[in-house]
Amino acid sequence: MVLSRGYEERLAAAYMEGKTPLFNMANGPLPGEMHLSNGQEPCAVGVCAHLRAEDTVTATHRPHHVAIAKGVDLRAMTAEIFGKQAGLSGGRGGHMHIFDPRVNFACSGIIAQGMGPAAGAALARKLRGEPGVAVAFIGEGAANQGAFHEVMNIAALWKLPFLCIIEDNGYGVSVMKKDSTAVARNDVRAAAYGVPGVYVPGNDPYAIYAAAGEAIERARAGDGPTLIEIETWRLAGHFMGDVEGYRPAGEKDALFARDPIPAMRQRMIAEKTATADDVAALEAEAKATLDAVFDYARSAAEPRPEEALEKVFV
Amino acid sequence: MVEPARRDNRRKRKLTIAKAISEAIAQEMERDSGVFVMGEDIAKLGGVFGNTQGLLDKFGPERVRDTPISETGFISMAVGAAALGLRPLVELMFVDFFGVCMDAIYNLAAKQAYFSGGHVKCPMVLMTSVGGGYSDAGQHSQCLYGTFAHLPGMKVVVPSNAYDAKGLMAAAIRDDNPVIFMMHKNLQGMGWLGTVAGATVDVPEDAYEVPLGKAAITRPGKDITVVGLGATVHQALDAAETLAKDGIEAEVIDLRSLAPLDREAVLKSVRKTGRLLVVDDDYKSFGVSGEIIATVAEAGIALKSPPQRLAYPDIPIPFARPMEQFALPNAGKVATLIRQMCQE
Ligand SMILES: Cc1ncc(C[n+]2csc(CCOP(=O)(O)OP(=O)(O)O)c2C)c(N)n1
Ligand SMILES: [Mg+2]
């Protein structure tokens, strides 16, 4: 969580370079849209802590926390986000299209698009009799998309080793969950597909870890999919540049007061899982890693323009 | 061919396309109680691209509806509402997202009139934004003009400036057929993205129509016809400006709509100039550029040099700036091509 948070703090700073005083998304070393996941780190680590390289994960337009927790190559991912030749996709994808087949991670920018590919990976493992489960991370907004329902049904029908994790941050861009979703909680929708549905409140990494562990065990045992909805919160706007006028007054302050990272630090120290020194050492290590990663990505070479024409077919 | 209202000095001010569209929709909603708006982030937020600003306050949540991210649902619902005589205006913010609900568009909306022998109409507008150039990668930067213009049964509109945008939107809402209304992000006038200066122009306050299917000659010239749409109109105009200093007079045509397509305007111009260049930031093959050149070829017009096209190569749109800018058309590339063609 600390690595992911620090990662995005650096990304956010780099993103704003060349975009002040006049914000223009096209400018600076990190152009285009930028969707931050700060605040949602518990969802990523609580689930991915159970996963191995052979397990597939698909994520969304807001992918950094999940990619980091899944063990995506940080240097190559960062180079990709900076649009460099040494990036995971040679600069073709950018921050919404991170592919690292080494750890079976992919993400994309169309809502609920990851559902099918994850369930397809689960099918492939099942057909080949190989170990490996698949997890699709989506937002609560995506649970109203057809692909979500179609894939949940097939995955349940075929008892695939599949999990759908809904990160409920309360908003799809500006639209509140209560204005987009006919039920208060999406875990109840699992009943429509005859699979277990779990709701994890409080953005709590420990509770997420426990719920995901059970579901992944079930999937590995061949007992089929689980739907988990996690209450979480995004501490940033939908994308950078979003003025967030749609939030009720005071909401942001309240969310920051419940930032899951200080809460976990406190709990670890209180429960004596770690000392304050241990935590400080972890944080220092994350900082050193990030320094090296960002230095590398910034100084990496730009792609040649003509490389745009390559890799359309392989 | 300049619209009369464009020369009308009464009560006009410079508006961005976003503001002009919001105004057109508001005027049509006042005029016709059957017009209503739905889409993602269009109510409280006023649209990610600002096309529905102020509408929620003015018309309330019954007629201005934020939808869930359920495009097949709400776009096919628009078809059903249109069949009963309402005039839904639906927004889906990026054309790249149409994949999830394509059936509702090309099999349902576009064929309702035909399948019913003309008895059931589909008076709806589906508006969206198109285009790249700001490093948003291949699922947020496409134009797909050719894709929609290829499919029969829907009209396809691509404004290049705020004046046209307002008048075309009024015409689109009043039309009894489905209209796909495609607005280029480089022209839109959003605070978070740069805007080509020529897109923000004088717009009269009163409602007016710019008819669908009529191209505009945005700059007269005798040496070459340059056909563009949306953002490429401005690239062609910039190139023409540069070349005028060297004595090359390019005539620039803004197609304004692809279906119906004003083939006559293109033919008339090419008969005069004897040269044709099409500039398009949509994919090159099987698209607008090929269609325009085929139109001229079929008419058997004798050309002074082979017709050319400058379009997006047949590759997905890359994220990294050097690669994307390499692939996109721009004014410099247009000018170079025109020079070559006029020397031939
Ligand atoms: C099919 C499709 N429709 C619309 C969009 C535009 N869009 C991008 S993110 C987003 C909101 C998604 O909300 P949610 O699933 O809750 O994810 P969050 O952004 O909260 O992480 C929308 C509507 C899209 N990318 N794809
Ligand atoms: Mg959300």
Q: Does A188 touch chain B (CB under 8 A)?
A: no
Q: Domain ranges for chain B, please list them.
A: 14-204, 216-343
Task: Identify any residues that bridge with A106 across adjacent strands, giving them in sequence order.
Answer: A58, A99
Q: Which residues of chain B make contact with A304, given a CB cutoff of 8 A?
A: 322
Instruction: Please give the pLDDT value at position B10.
Output: 60
Q: CATH topology of B14-204 equal to that of B216-343? A: yes
Cα-only R_g, chain B: 19
Residue B6 has pLDDT above 80, yes or no: no
Please name the residues between 9 and 48 in chain B that touch chain A, using a CB distance below 8 Å. 40-41, 44-45, 48
Q: Which residues of chain B make contact with A246, given a CB cutoff of 8 A?
A: 44-45
The whole-angstrom separation of Cα B86 and Cα B32 is 9
| Average predicted confidence (pLDDT) for chain A | 98
CATH number of B14-204: 3.40.50.970
The whole-angstrom separation of Cα B160 and Cα B255 is 9
B140 is catalytic: yes
Query: pTM of the full predicted structure?
Result: 0.97
Distance from CA of B36 to the nearest CA of A (A): 18
B321 → chain A, closest CA residue = A83
- From the CB of B97, is ligand 1 less than 6 Å away? yes
Residue B224 has pLDDT above 60, yes or no: yes
B67, two tokens: 């939808």
Q: What is the pLDDT of residues A196-255, one digit of tens each?
A: 999 999 999 999 999 999 999 999 999 999 999 999 999 999 999 999 999 999 999 999
Q: Is CATH 3.40.50.920 what the domain over B216-343 is classified as, yes or no?
A: yes
The whole-angstrom separation of Cα A240 and Cα A23 is 10
Is B137 within 8 Å of A96 when comparing Cβ atoms?
yes
Q: What is the pLDDT of residues B130-166, one digit of tens each?
A: 999 999 999 999 999 999 999 999 999 999 999 999 9
Percent above pLDDT 90 for chain B: 96
- Residue of minimum CA distance from atom 7 in ligand 1: A111
Q: Do residues B294 and B308 touch, judged by C-beta distance below 8 A? A: no
Report angle CA B97, B103, B108 to the nearest 5 degrees. Answer: 125
Q: Does B91 touch chain A (CB under 8 A)?
A: no
The whole-angstrom separation of Cα B339 and Cα B344 is 9
Residue B7 has pLDDT above 70, yes or no: no
- From the CB of A169, is ligand 1 less than 6 Å away? yes
Q: Which of A112, A306, A312 sits opposite B316 (nearest CB)?
A: A312
- From the CB of B136, is ligand 1 less than 6 Å away? no
Q: What is the pLDDT of residues B263-318, one digit of tens each?
A: 999 999 999 999 999 999 999 999 999 999 999 999 999 999 999 999 999 999 99
- From the CB of A232, is ligand 1 less than 6 Å away? no
Residue B4 has pLDDT above 90, yes or no: no
CATH number of A2-307: 3.40.50.970
Q: What residue type is assigned to position A100 of the chain?
A: D
pLDDT band (50, 70, 90) for residue B1: very low
